[in-house]
Amino acid sequence: MNFQTLLFDVDDTLLDFQAAEDQALQRLFREKKVAWSPAIKEAYQQVNQQLWRDYELGKISRNEVTDTRFGKFFATLNQRVDSPKMDQQYRSYLAQGSQLLANSREIVADLAQKADLYIVTNGVSETQRNRLTKAGLLPYFKDIFVSEETGYQKPMKEFFDYVFQRIPNFKASETVIIGDSLTSDIQGGQGAGIATVWLNPEQQPLLPGITPTYEIRQLAELYQILGSDNPLANRKKSLATGKK
């Protein structure tokens, strides 16, 4: 293995956040008698994503994101809601969304036998832990680092300093972060002096000043970077040739 410490993002890296979010929002908006549509989803995401970007930049706190996003969104519909209460309901629905991305559980289960795996996420602590538990991923990780608990968030160097201090025998040269966000995972890893793997299935363009060490389109491509055999590929090959 070329790396012995693997830091994994959660949403849209291991778990299908888009599916979980759609499920939770549809249920929530149905209760508020708001018709679900692609336009409504896009309008909500514009509000939500801007707040999370401000959080990544340190302009606002996590609580400001979660406590105000629904109030700001429903204001665009000329409606007033109890934003913090609505967010609590949304997160209870979101926590039920444990859809895995492709074969991420099989990959994590295999890599956990070869290296030390950790979670690094900007999500809400209780929600993320519940989703990881429900997805059957939690046992494969040595520890979970959530911005809510660390006091800092990706891409802040302080977040990574916090993580590094709590990993036994940490070596930056043997550590890599795997994630889907250029501005959070890749920029954060770059600033912290570790290798980065950008999971970019839709082949999005790079952003100025952010250059991942590696780029992949699916998680299974990690094996090539790590210098390890992919047992899933070997299994498919055996099935194709009729061998067991």
Residues known to be catalytic: 9
The answer to whether the beta carbons of residues 19 and 97 sit under 8 Å apart is: yes
CA distance 118 to 5: 8
User: How would you list the strands of the sheet with 195-199, edge to edge?
Assistant: 143-146, 116-121, 5-8, 175-179, 195-199, 214-216
**Which structure tokens are listed for 120?**
């690094």
Which residues make Cβ contacts (< 8 Å) with residue 3, sequence separation at least 6? 115, 174, 175, 176, 195, 226
CA distance 161 to 152: 10
The answer to whether the beta carbons of residues 18 and 187 sit under 8 Å apart is: no
Comparing CA positions, the residue from 141, 139, 159 lying closest to residue 149 is 159
C-alpha of 17 from chain center: 8
CA distance 114 to 3: 10
Comparing CA positions, the residue from 194, 126, 123, 128 lying closest to residue 154 is 123
Comparing CA positions, the residue from 136, 143, 145 lying closest to residue 100 is 136
